[in-house]
Structure 1
Amino acid sequence: MKFYKKHCSLFMIVVFMMAFLQPDYSHAQNIFDKIFGRKEQHVTAPAPPTKRKIIRKQKPTQPFVQSPSKSADAKRILILGDFVASAAFDGLDRLYADNKDIVVLRAINGSSGIVRDDYYNWAVMIDKIITNEKPDIIIMTLGANDNQAIQPAKNPIIQSDKEWTIIYQKRLDHLTEKLKNTKKPWLWMGQPSFKNNQLNQNIIALNYIYKTTVEATGGRFVDIWDGFIDNEGKFALSGYDASGKTARLRANDGINFTSVGKQKLAFYLDKKLEPILNASFEETKKNVSKPQGQVFINLPHNITHIAPISIIDMAQDEKELLGQLHLNHSEKIEFEHKKNHDKPYGRADNFYIKP
């Protein structure tokens, strides 16, 4: 019985010890951890991976080309109008960038037109603009924003009404008279085709009004319509550029222009401007070379008396009368012979010397 109790007690101790020493699998611990407590392990967070530097090859930069400074007496071309006029300015300014004798100026209101004179009245503003800019040539284009009703004091007048055309024509007449009164050469650039079919039909009618009115007032009408349509006469996003190659001319909205389209606008304008500029340059040359005040012309004349000089001096080509024509040696001999042919050789008043 004692043996049993002894072994039973031993068994209980072993079981108790095994329970005490049962490992905690949530943490890998040893006996020292159980007795003295487990130390907190500070796990250092791994360093973020270093980003690999991506070396991108840079495109070679285009060398900056300084445009030549414009001459003090450069011809001043002023472009007035809406957003189409703005596109024309961009193209023309680029076209003449390297020409020091031509400078392109602008006075643009992109949303302006003839209909909404309450928003911006060109007929009122143009005198001040001309005074400030002092142009030699004026280019104007309007109409892209005029596909809308005229808003008088009472009811709106839609574009299909006859009264709309009468009012529009009257305003256009007033504006073109203003341009005429500047006494400067002036051009009116017509509108191109647009993607909107209804707008296109109205623009065709407006271009006809512009052409007849401008030419009747003494201006030059620049027709650009054919440059922005296809073979069927419809709006075209692409077409021939100024060099004859097919290129994109218009933006996706069917309203604005690409850089090539702007150059094409300048191409049409340049053809009309060329004779005007040439005539202006010729006039400038005449004014520069034209002498001021009374002009005295010194022509060779018969010699009646000279101071005594040596024969050696008389034979030298450099010894000439002031104002005498510059002749070579043989021409001088012939001139002197003709001048004294009526005087006998050897006479005191005959100064001719045989060579």
Structure 2
Amino acid sequence: MKQMIGFGRYRLRSRVGSRPALLPACPAAAPTLLRSPSLLAIAIALAGTFLFIEHATARTLLDMLFGPRIYRENTDRLIDDGRRARPPSKSRPPLKRARPRPDTVRTSPVPNSDAPIQAKLPDAKPVLVVGDFMAGSLAEGLDAAFIDAPGVRVIDKADGSSGFVRSDHRDWPASIGEMIAKEKPAVVVIMIGANDRQQFSDGKVLLTDDWTKEYQARMNGFLDAVKKAGQPVVWVGQPAFKSKSITNDVLAFNEFYRNATEKAGGTFVDVWDGFVDQSGNFTLSGFDVSGQTARLRNNDGIGMTAAGKRKLAFYVEKPLRQMLGNATSPDIAAIKPGAPVQALTGAPGAPAKIDRLAPVSLNDPELDGGTDLLGAAPRPAVGGDKSARDRLVIDGVAPEGQPGRVNDFSWPKQ
């Protein structure tokens, strides 16, 4: 079925199911079309209308200018089971993506998968962590630090909005004694102060003399309650923050904490250098516990990331291991109840007590003290002759000169 439309010099031939094309018509009609601009514009408009009336007839302008393109489906696609996929057709629906057979499923390890965690022992030593939201981050980091130590159990009792100023929310000096009696911890770890940049309810302004006296009184009350329970305390200082005003205030707080903790016989842990750059300024990123550069703080410059929490616990881990002893070892579960501490695999024994070391004799050619053990009786001297050293020091008799040596004073020279 063909349709012929003629206007002037060109005729538009259209075939159903094919692309339209402009074919040259009668050459004699060209001057008439060119002399009439209005007819030429109408002819072009009609040609454009028929060219773009169907999307299937001309897809792009390039097809109209440079001829039709052949659109072909990719027949080289393979599905998972190795069979070649056929191009879709109107009569047959496209093939669905086949699922792999059970014997071809790859079992690759999933990153950050949950590894088996060793269960804590019933008599594991509890570590009580108290304080504000920074103490909560510290507790998460300590959980990761002692995840392979079945003899240590971290108890997170941090209150994110608490502090020493707002005693109406949580009165730590009054409540810590009851908490210690309930949990019976081996060590009490405190990290507090991020919420204390405010005035007291009676109007004492931040860091004034009256404010400082009241704040130090509450700190000492907390430490006295912990000492009364007979538990060691580890006080963790505050890190730097993104806000300069907060950083300046917590610097003063850290000095309060350090002085009060040392007077009470506790351990103060300074974490400041772990969260600043080389110039001492706040930084969002830094070295993690493995020495790799990682993001340590959140975008707000206050909260800690997972790497920051683990680094925060890294500073507290060392004093805790000293206080808890062999309970931090992964092999503590292998010890039978009542066994001596030295039975722990890899546990260092007590150093041997050494009263004195025998001097090394100058007569020993190898300067190793001979083959006798420490504390053995000295061997009797062979013969009654004195050594060259004794004759020189005691009797004042110099050894005989040997020819060619500097002490050869014989004359004439041999």
Aligned match of 1:99 in 124, 149, 161?
Answer: 149
Where does residue 167 of structure 2 map in the other structure? Answer: 117
- CA deviations 1:136-174 (Å, max 9, x no partner) are 11101110000111111xxx1211421110111111111
Displacement of 1:184 in angstroms is 1.5
Q: Secondary structure at the match of 2:150?
A: coil
Displacement of 1:58 in angstroms is 11
Q: Structure 1: how far apart are the matches of 2:217 and 2:142?
A: 30
Displacement of 1:71 in angstroms is 1.1
Displacement of 1:246 in angstroms is 1.5
Q: CA RMSD in A?
A: 3.0
Displacement of 1:54 in angstroms is 12
Where does residue 89 of structure 1 map in the other structure? Answer: 139
Displacement of 1:65 in angstroms is 2.4
Where does residue 249 of structure 2 map in the other structure? Answer: 202
- CA deviations 1:262-288 (Å, max 9, x no partner) are 000110011111211127789x99x93
Distance 1:61 1:210, change over 3 A: same
Task: Please say if 1:178 is aligned against 2:225.
Answer: yes
Q: Which aligned segments of 4 or more residues in structure 1 are displaced greater than 3 angstroms?
A: 52-55, 57-64, 279-282, 287-290
Aligned match of 1:137 in 168, 179, 187?
Answer: 187
Where does residue 127 of structure 1 map in the other structure? Answer: 177
Task: Please say if 1:274 is aligned against 2:324.
Answer: no
Displacement of 1:120 in angstroms is 1.0
Where does residue 233 of structure 1 map in the other structure? Answer: 280
TM-score calculated relative to the size of structure 2: 0.53
Where does residue 65 of structure 1 map in the other structure? Answer: 115
Distance 1:231 1:81, change over 3 A: same
Unaligned runs of 5+ in 2: 1-92, 100-105, 341-414
User: Contact 1:180 / 1:218 at 8 angstroms: preserved in 2?
Assistant: no
Q: For residues 1-355 of structure 1, what are the structure 2 equivalents within 5 Å?
A: 61=110, 63-152=113-202, 156-278=203-325, 288=338
User: Contact 1:78 / 1:135 at 8 angstroms: preserved in 2?
Assistant: yes
User: Contact 2:136 / 2:160 at 8 angstroms: preserved in 1?
Assistant: yes
Distance 1:85 1:53, change over 3 A: farther
Q: Structure 1: how far apart are the matches of 2:241 and 2:176?
A: 27
User: Contact 2:124 / 2:327 at 8 angstroms: preserved in 1?
Assistant: no
Q: Structure 2: how far apart are the matches of 1:74 and 1:93?
A: 13
User: Contact 2:126 / 2:153 at 8 angstroms: preserved in 1?
Assistant: yes
Distance 1:64 1:231, change over 3 A: closer
Q: Secondary structure at the match of 1:181?
A: helix
Q: Structure 2: how far apart are the matches of 1:191 and 1:280?
A: 28
Q: Structure 1: how far apart are the matches of 2:107 and 2:122?
A: 40
Distance 1:215 1:165, change over 3 A: same
How many equivalent pairs are there?
A: 237
Q: Secondary structure at the match of 2:155?
A: strand
Instruction: Give the helix-richer structure, 1 or 2.
Output: 1
Q: Structure 2: how far apart are the matches of 1:66 and 1:98?
A: 10
- CA deviations 1:43-96 (Å, max 9, x no partner) are xxxxxx99x8899x9996455423111112211111011100000000100111
User: Contact 2:151 / 2:328 at 8 angstroms: preserved in 1?
Assistant: no
Q: Structure 2: how far apart are the matches of 1:214 and 1:85?
A: 17
Distance 1:289 1:198, change over 3 A: same
Q: Structure 1: how far apart are the matches of 2:298 and 2:179?
A: 30
- Matching residue's letter, 2:148: D
- Matching residue's letter, 1:113: G
Distance 1:65 1:279, change over 3 A: closer
Q: Secondary structure at the match of 1:159?
A: coil
User: Contact 2:141 / 2:309 at 8 angstroms: preserved in 1?
Assistant: yes
Q: Secondary structure at the match of 1:157?
A: coil
Higher relative contact order (CA 8 A, sep 6+): 1
- Matching residue's letter, 1:135: P
Q: Secondary structure at the match of 2:324?
A: helix
Q: Structure 1: how far apart are the matches of 2:286 and 2:296?
A: 6
User: Contact 1:180 / 1:219 at 8 angstroms: preserved in 2?
Assistant: no
Displacement of 1:239 in angstroms is 1.0
TM-score calculated relative to the size of structure 1: 0.61
Percent identity over the alignment is 38
Distance 1:160 1:188, change over 3 A: closer
- Matching residue's letter, 1:172: M
Q: Structure 1: how far apart are the matches of 2:249 and 2:199?
A: 12
Q: Secondary structure at the match of 1:69?
A: coil
User: Contact 2:149 / 2:328 at 8 angstroms: preserved in 1?
Assistant: no
Unaligned runs of 5+ in 1: 1-48, 291-355
